[in-house]
Amino acid sequence: MKTSNITTRQANRAHARSVPLIGIGQIRHARLHPVEHAFSYRTWFLMLPMRSAHHVGWRGLARNKSALVAFHDKDHGDGEGDALAWFDQLLQRSGIHNADGEVWLQTYPRVFGYVFKPVSFWYAYNREGKLRAIVAEVNNTFGERHCYLLASSVQWGKEMTADKVFHVSPFCRASGRYRFRFMRTDAASSRAERIVARIDHDDASGRAILQTSISGHLETLGRATLWKAMISMPFLTFGIMARIHWQALRLWLKKVPFNRKPPLDQPFVTQGDDPDTSYSRSSES
């Protein structure tokens, strides 16, 4: 399958399928400097049609209540109220007024009541089914959150950039540039619908530091597919945090320079290719 050949027509067909999906796939990390360090592991995630959920709900997935696997709105945005309402407000405040179609959220659920979401991706469409904006919602292990808004000529398969301003790992400086690329194919053009989200980090000189991706084949979310994922990877969210600390130990043993966390003083949203349009969390109140 050649994900680089994705077309707008293919993406629009995927958009029209507004039922919740589950992705079974892989996470990959490759550090290129100052030492080489790479790993990959299996994962699963959700693709949720947020706007449709207000009308038809999500079959087989609990929302805002205790369950084996559940989605909680407070795990996103400002942590208050409806996550979609927060997201719509973010777009409005950023000057995006026509993302009035489906909004897909690629994210991890709570499993056994616990979750850590290194990154979630919001894909916003207009009513015609055209991709209008993508937001990468990033969390660090200090309980802090930052959003990167990509809305300048956004499209599937295109590389988009943003200044890195948010501390994620002590082994990478909160500086340089992110390069984002998102690809999605549907079942009509391949054996199975598939999505790939790639984020690469370059330092201030343009040298490649880190390459990361999360990918997966998408299936309709239901009790059967959810149980299949749970049986194969039952401790999904616990494993994410455990692997973060294990890989950090390996980097420390390789004597990768350690950077202390800087104060959280940047705006809550950074807009790709135009950082001057970002706004602070406090401006939402």
Across the chain, mean pLDDT equals 88
Q: Where are the alpha helices (DSSP H) in the chain?
A: 8-16, 50-56, 83-93, 223-232, 236-253
Separation of CA 278 from chain center:
19
Query: Each residue of 87-99: pLDDT tens digit?
Result: 999 999 999 999 9
Residue 187: per-residue pLDDT: 57
CB 136 within 8 A of CB 119: yes
Measured CA to CA, the distance from residue 104 to residue 198 in angstroms comes to: 17
Measured CA to CA, the distance from residue 87 to residue 27 in angstroms comes to: 25
The two beta strands, 69-71 and 62-63, are: parallel
Measured CA to CA, the distance from residue 268 to residue 264 in angstroms comes to: 9
User: Domain tally for the chain?
Assistant: 1
CB 89 within 8 A of CB 284: yes
Distances (CA, A) of 119 to 66, 67, 75: 22, 22, 11
- pLDDT level of residue 17 (50, 70, 90 thresholds): low
pLDDT at 284 over 50: no
CB 71 within 8 A of CB 111: no
Query: Each residue of 251-272: pLDDT tens digit?
Result: 889 989 888 998 888 899 999 9
Report which DSSP code applies to 5.
G
- pLDDT level of residue 12 (50, 70, 90 thresholds): very low
Domain housing 17: 3-284
The answer, as to whether pTM is greater than 0.95, is: no
Query: Each residue of 141-152: pLDDT tens digit?
Result: 999 999 999 998
CB 107 within 8 A of CB 120: yes
259-268 in b/e form (b: 16+ CB < 10 A) is eeeeeeebbb
CB 44 within 8 A of CB 61: no
